[in-house]
Every structure is written in structure tokens, then in C-alpha cells.
Amino acid sequence: MLSCKHIMTVSDMTPDDITMILDTADSFTEVNERRIKKLPTLRGRTVVNLFLEPSTRTRMSFEIAAKRLSADGINFTASSSATVKGESLRDTAKTLSAMACDLVVVRHKYAGAPQMLTECMDAHIVNGGDGVHEHPTQALLDLYTMRRTLGHLEGLRVGIVGDICHSRVAGSLVPALRMVGATPVIIGPPTLMPARPDVLGAEVVYSLDDALPTLDVIYMLRVQFERADAMPIPSNREYAKLYGMNAKRLAAAKPEAIIMHPGPMNRGVEISSDVADSPRCVVLDQVNAGVAVRMAVMYLLLGGEGGGTAA
Amino acid sequence: MALLLKNGRVIDPVAGIDEVADIIIRDGVIVEIGKDLSIPKGETLDISEKVVLPGLVDVHTHLREPGREDKETVASGTAAAAHGGFTAVCAMPNTSPICDTGSKVRFLVERAAEEGVVRVYPIGAVTKGQDGAALAEIADMMAEGAVAFSDDGRGIQDAGLTRIAMDYLKAFDAPLISHCEDESLVGHGVVNEGVISTRLGMPGWPAAAEEVMVARDIRLAELTGCRLHLAHLSTAGSVALVREAKSRGLRITCEVTPHHLFLDEDVLIGYDTNLKMNPPLRSAQDREALVGGLLDGTVDCIATDHAPHAAHEKELEFELAPFGTTGLETALSLVNTHLVATEKLTWADVAQLMCHGPRAALGLPEVSLQAGSVADITIVDPEARVEVTKDWFMSKSRNSAFLGNKLLGKASEVLVGGYFALKNGKVVAR
């Protein structure tokens, strides 16, 4: 069993929790490769996807994960929800609680929303991304992909490149990498760095070209202009010149280094098309891993209660 | 009607007194202070073991009336003030509508006369609608009773307009109260920029966003000769700027709040919206610098920035919830618990920081514990135990940053013009 009731932030988890999730995901990957990709494990359990910020891939990934475990999945999105009628998040949470949901996956524009849900409902809460704070299942699927592709996690040097300060992916990935014995290096212009990267425990490098030859994983992020108060870079052109991953840079990287991206990609900005489509780029493996890892999270949070069985 | 206060420890640095004595009050005025006094008829109250201070005043209160009477009214806000030991409050103008004309000031003066449990001194807006574009009718507001002027809640972004406001105010010797916040540096910031903004994943509000405005307004006060009072300073850099300005003899005063003195950003880790303030809670180093400013005289007053909010507004996501904590009913107990009981400050210092300092900063009527002074008096039971629960408050709102605290000492009596506003710890209805 996991040590935590909820998956809120990576720092709430222990290294053993992470290992257990990744190991469990291995068995679900095997299920996902079958022709009949369905298990009865969570039959009769209700999983709500409470997505109050637009999302396609994360919502679909959780939805598929719930279906493959035979849970009843309900989608509650901002456009169809009571929130547009002015209902508060607390009231929405209490309403869901009254309907006896077992697990709620929440995606929200603001940091701390999952924490708020835990205060007003009994269900297990999974943080599907809160503001620019954390996105723990993304970090877990990234670790899973790295482990599957490179064979191990300990000792890896992982460069996270680009818009660190607006990235909940980086917010979870940096502490997760430290927990498994890897070294996170955050790379980008100072205008896209968090105020105190030292408290996250990452090395800070402003030049991608300097860091590149040392990295085992090059993790590209999209610049989230929509979250910035003022334009943090002069132009996409200059950004691509300094921080874009292209064939020339790929040639300067370690031969076994892999390219990752949480999606959606901005081709031509942080990643060139030839790199995005190269075999060194594992973005689709990440998406594939996402389903298995989310199945593992749901199974480990709910499975122990209902006496269900793993694959 | 005469009142005899027996055996209190009477403390007032302005009157040069710190001794156990009796006080006789007649017709709203202190007529005699001395040993073994008696009165032929009237009320006698034994206040042995209690501390008697000149009437405390809060120079930074949001009464919310008119406009948001669901959060606070003149009646409930002044009751909260009496409950916390204050004999007067200065009401900030960011009501709805904004208090930016003489007739709106008069409304508040009349409401206070009808329903106020303690005295209310209105603060007028500097600019029309507090929109930072054009001067409000300052002389008209002064004629109706405004004591100072502020665009508190936002601050005036334009340096040129600030200079004009200061020049204009100089003619009336009225202070400008500056809310120091450079909006272009704050952006969507909701917590201190640094460790906590990084940990919580929330937009940061750098200390520099306050300090550049403090520096700007000090220079403009120097240029214009206007009296400047700096509201709710929260950073070490701001205190250093004020210390330097005062060393050059400038007429600048400043205040700090109990929440910035006694809390730092580390408490925000649970996303409790009662801890969301403007300016935000800062680092431990900043907090220590504010206390240092109190101890060395750089800081003139402790002010509450009492900011009541409805529960349903504070129960939103942290980034959506309004800024502010209530403060009137906890300030004195916090000061005693953290500064007097720990012997960092004396009660004479408290009289300075919560009575004489704020009165001088805003040019309010002076009170003191000597014959001839108006009988605005705060009596403190320094041994009283206070548990800050939601039931504790007289304010209409419960959004206190100090809920759950166990504090030492509270006001037991408050006299305003010789009448009890608080007696035996209970607010006295008018």
C-alpha cells in the first residue's frame, strides 16, 4: 500500500511509494498490450475527472485508465459544470462527496485546489495539475518512461529546459528526480526561472549548450506565454536559437541521451520537427506510459479497499 | 457623573507616569490622578493588577460601510475596536462607493455619531475613485472631518500625480498615507516572492515592489515637504529606507501590522486564505527587521489593517480569495504575548506605539493620563487568557490570521470621553 491517501504533491510521497507505483505500472503496461485491455479490478468504484481547466491528453489518459480498470468514470469539465454558474469549488466538492465518489482527479487553474478538496470530501484525491504548482502523475509517468528506456533512474542527469517558473511539470519532476537518486538540472533564461530554484533542489544553468553534453535526458518544456505577466523573451526566434532542441544540438548530446516533452509541443520553437519525429524522442512512449501509471495510481489508492486484484 | 478608577498601574510616557494610582474622571475629563483618592458620589471601579494606558488608536481600519455591510459596519467595526482595546479608529476610504468627497466623509461622521462605539476618524481618498488619475476634493473632505488621505488598497502608481497630491496636501499640513505597491512588479503576485512562491507554485510578490515605492515616496516627500505616513511596511528594505530618511530629519512616519510582526511566510504552506494579505507575509528575516524597527524607534506605530471579509469569499482558491485579515480584536493581546510578556517592550512603549505614535503620525487629538485630558483610556488585564476562536469576535467577519492562537492579556475596559465602551471585557451598547 502507498503511504499516502492522496496523490497531491511529490513531496507527500516516499521513494518506496514511487517505486511501488512504477512497478505496478509495469504489470498494467502488459495489460495495455493485450487485445482485450480490461480488468475487473475497480468494478463498482466511481472515479470523477474534475477538470476545471482545459485539458485533452491528461483527461483522456485518466479516463482510459479508469475504464481499463472497470471503474465508472464521470467527466466533469469546466464548460459543462456548475462552476460557470458561480458555484464555488468547495460546494462542487461537497456535491461530489454527497454522491459518494471514491476518487477524484482534479485539474485546476490555481495552486492548492487539490488540498482544498481533501478538506471537504472523503474521496481519494489525485492532483491532475494545479496551477503552476505540481502535476505529480506526469512526473511519475516521466520517471516510468526514463526507467523503461534507459534501464535505471539512479545517477541520471536530467536537463529540464525552458519555462521552468510556469511549469507544474517541472514542479513535480524536480523533487521526483531527487527522490529516486537522479540529478535535475533546470536550464533556461532567468526570466523563466522560479524565484528560488535552490529550494527545489535543482542545479541552474542558463546555457543549454553548456549543459547539453552532460545530460542523459533532455526534457523540453513549452513556453506558457498565457501565464506570464509580461513577455519573458524577446521572440520565438531568439528563444529557439538559445533553447530550441534541433538536429545540431542533438548531435552534441550524449549518443544515448533521449528527448522528452510533456506535450503539447510547439514545433519550431522549443523543438524542431526532425527531433520531434526522431527515434531519440520518446514523447509517445510518455503518453503510453501515462495510462499504465494512472492505472497503477488508481489501483493502489482504491484497490486495497475493495479487495480487488492486480493484473 | 463621576468615575473613580482605583489602584490601576497608570502608565503614560507623555505624562511621565508609571505607578499604581487612582484616577478621577468627571464630565468626560480626567480631573485628578493620585494616591488614595475618593469621590463623594458616583461609580468606583477597582482595577488592581490592571494596566491603565492612554486611549489606543488604530490608524488603519477598514469599516466596509457603506457598500459591504455584510462584512462590517460602523457599529460592528467600532464594537470590535472597543473589544480589542481601542478608543478610536481611522477608517480607510476604499468603501463602495469610495470615500472621495466631502459628503461621503460626512456620511461616515454621521454614522459614527449614531452608531460608533468608539471614535471614528475618516481618511479620504487622494484620487477620485482611487483610480490614480485625478485629485479628489481634499479640502472639502478636510472640512467634513477627514484627517488624512490615502489610496490604500492600491497605491498611486503615477509618480507625477503623487507629487501633485503631496504638493496640494502640504497647504493643509495633512498627511499622505502611502500604500506602497508597484503593480508592474507585483503582477498577479499573491505571496512573497522567494521560497514560499517557489514551494507553493503561486505568483510571487517581490519585496522590491514595496521598496521601490517607499523609496519613491520618501524622495517625493523630501521634494514637496509633505507629511508622509507609510502604511503596513513588510520588508527589511523598507525599514532601512525609513531609518535612513529619519536620520536626515525628514517628516516621515510609518506603521507595521501585528500579522507582519508575528507571522512569516512559512505558515502559508497549507494554503490558508486567512493568511493571504496585502502586502504578503514575508520571510523570517523581514519579520525580524520589522521587530527591530519597533525596538529602535524607526517604526512609529502598530496598526491593524483590520480587513474583514465574508466567509464565502475567503473560502475560495488561494489566488482568488481577497487579501486581508481582521486585526482589531487580536492586536493588543498579540503585542502583550510576543513583546511585553517577553520583555522586549514595556507598557510605556506600547502607549507610544499604539497611542501617541499613531496620533502624532496622523495629527489626531492627543490624549494622555493627566488632569485636564479627555478621558479616552484603555485598561488592560495583562494576565487574562484569550483563545482566539470564531466565537471570540465582535466583528462581523471571522477571517483572522490568528484563529486557534492562545494569547495572554486583553483589554478589560475602554473609556471613550469618560463613557465605557468596554467594561469587564464586554462591549457596552450605546
Nearest-angstrom CA–CA distance, B107 and A57:
57
Residue B41 lies in a domain: yes
Which residues in chain A have their CB less than 8 angstroms from residue B193's CB?
Answer: 195
pLDDT confidence tier of residue A303, bands split at 50, 70 and 90: confident
Interface predicted TM-score (ipTM) of this complex, two decimals: 0.91
CB-based contact A230 B320, cutoff 8 Å:
no
Q: Are residues B310 and B378 in the same domain?
A: no
Same CATH fold, A136-282 and A10-134+287-306? yes
Nearest-angstrom CA–CA distance, B205 and A59:
32
Q: Are residues B321 and B354 in the same domain?
A: yes
- List the single best residue of A92, A199, A226, A227 to mutate versus B (max B Cβ within 10 A): A199
Q: Name the B residues in 269-308 with CB < 8 Å from any A CB.
A: 270-271
**Residue A100 DSSP code:** T
Amino acid B430: pLDDT: 72
Nearest neighbour of B317 by CB, restricted to A113, A196, A229: A113
**C-alpha B272 chain-centroid distance:** 23
Picking from B362, B384, B409, the residue at the C-terminal end of a domain is B362
Picking from B317, B344, B362, the residue at the C-terminal end of a domain is B362
Q: φ, ψ for residue B294 (rounded to 5)?
A: -65, -45
DSSP for A36-85, written as a single string: S----TTTT-EEEEEE-S--SHHHHHHHHHHHHTT-EEEEEEGGGSGGGG
pLDDT confidence tier of residue A55, bands split at 50, 70 and 90: confident
CB-based contact B202 A133, cutoff 8 Å:
yes
* H-helix or E-strand spanning residue B60: strand B56-61
Q: Are residues B116 and B6 in the same domain?
A: no
Q: Are residues B33 and B63 in the same domain?
A: no
Fold assignment, A136-282: Rossmann fold (3.40.50)
Q: Are residues B159 and B239 in the same domain?
A: yes
| Three-class secondary structure of residue B386 per DSSP | strand
DSSP for A249-310, written as a single string: HHHHS-TT-EEE--S---BTTTB-HHHHTSTTB-HHHHHHHHHHHHHHHHHHHHHHHHT---
Q: Are residues B102 and B202 in the same domain?
A: yes
Nearest-angstrom CA–CA distance, A281 and B247:
63
Number of domains in chain B: 2
Residue B26 lies in a domain: yes
Nearest neighbour of B317 by CB, restricted to A112, A196, A200: A112
- List the single best residue of B198, B274, B283 to mutate versus A (max A Cβ within 10 A): B198
* Closest to A162 (Cα-Cα) out of A224, A237, A92, A230: A224
The CATH code of the domain that includes B29 is: 2.30.40.10
Positive or negative CA dihedral for A265, A271, A274, A280? negative
Instruction: Spell out the per-residue pLDDT of chain B, length 430, in tens.
Output: 799 999 999 999 999 999 999 999 999 999 999 999 999 999 999 999 999 999 999 999 999 999 999 999 999 999 999 999 999 999 999 999 999 999 999 999 999 999 999 999 999 999 999 999 999 999 999 999 999 999 999 999 999 999 999 999 999 999 999 999 999 999 999 999 999 999 999 999 999 999 999 999 999 999 999 999 999 999 999 999 999 999 999 999 999 999 999 999 999 999 999 999 999 999 999 999 999 999 999 999 999 999 999 999 999 999 999 999 999 999 999 999 999 999 999 999 999 999 999 999 999 999 999 999 999 999 999 999 999 999 999 999 999 999 999 999 999 999 999 999 999 999 998 7
Q: Are residues B389 and B346 in the same domain?
A: no
Would you call B305 a catalytic residue per the annotation? Answer: yes
Residue B68 lies in a domain: yes
Q: Is A224 on the interface with B (CB under 8 A)?
A: no
Nearest neighbour of B201 by CB, restricted to A89, A171, A230: A171
Residue B367 lies in a domain: no
Amino acid A43: pLDDT: 94
Query: What residues are paired with B302 via a beta bridge?
Result: B256
Q: Are residues B338 and B376 in the same domain?
A: no
Nearest neighbour of A112 by CB, restricted to B188, B195, B200: B200
Amino acid A224: pLDDT: 87
The CATH code of the domain that includes B236 is: 3.20.20.140
CB-based contact A110 B317, cutoff 8 Å:
yes
What residue numbers bound the domain in which B397 lies?
A: 2-52+372-427
Residue ranges covered by each domain of chain A: 10-134+287-306, 136-282
**C-alpha A286 chain-centroid distance:** 10
Which residues in chain B have their CB less than 8 angstroms from residue A112's CB?
Answer: 200, 202, 271, 317-318
pLDDT confidence tier of residue A308, bands split at 50, 70 and 90: very low
Residue B278 lies in a domain: yes
Here the cell at position B271 is 494554503
Nearest-angstrom CA–CA distance, B298 and B237:
12
Domain A10-134+287-306 top-level CATH class? alpha beta
Element counts in chain B: helices (H) and strands (E): 14, 19
Amino acid B1: pLDDT: 78
Q: Percent of chain A scored above 70 by pLDDT? A: 95
| Three-class secondary structure of residue B2 per DSSP | strand
Q: Are residues B380 and B289 in the same domain?
A: no
Which residues in chain A have their CB less than 8 angstroms from residue B316's CB?
Answer: 88-89
CB-based contact B195 A131, cutoff 8 Å:
no
Nearest-angstrom CA–CA distance, B388 and A238:
56
Q: Classify residue A9 as exposed, middle or buried by CB count within 10 Å of its CB (0-12, 13-18, 19+).
A: buried
Picking from B362, B384, B410, the residue at the C-terminal end of a domain is B362
Check if the beta carbon of residue B252 is closer than 8 Å to that of residue B242. yes
Please give the torsion angle defined by the CA atoms of residues B143, B145, B151 and B157, in that order, rounded to the nearest 10 degrees: 30
| Three-class secondary structure of residue B362 per DSSP | helix
Q: Are residues B333 and B418 in the same domain?
A: no
Q: Are residues B28 and B109 in the same domain?
A: no
The stretch A220-247 carries a mean pLDDT of 91
Q: Are residues B351 and B389 in the same domain?
A: no
Look at residue A311 and tell me whether its pLDDT is greater than 80.
no
What's the gap in Å between the CA of A225 and the closest CA on chain B? 14
Residue B250 lies in a domain: yes
The stretch A248-272 carries a mean pLDDT of 96
pLDDT confidence tier of residue A230, bands split at 50, 70 and 90: confident
CB-based contact A111 B316, cutoff 8 Å:
no
- Lowest mean per-residue pLDDT among A95-99, A154-158, B360-364: A95-99
Here the cell at position B173 is 499640513
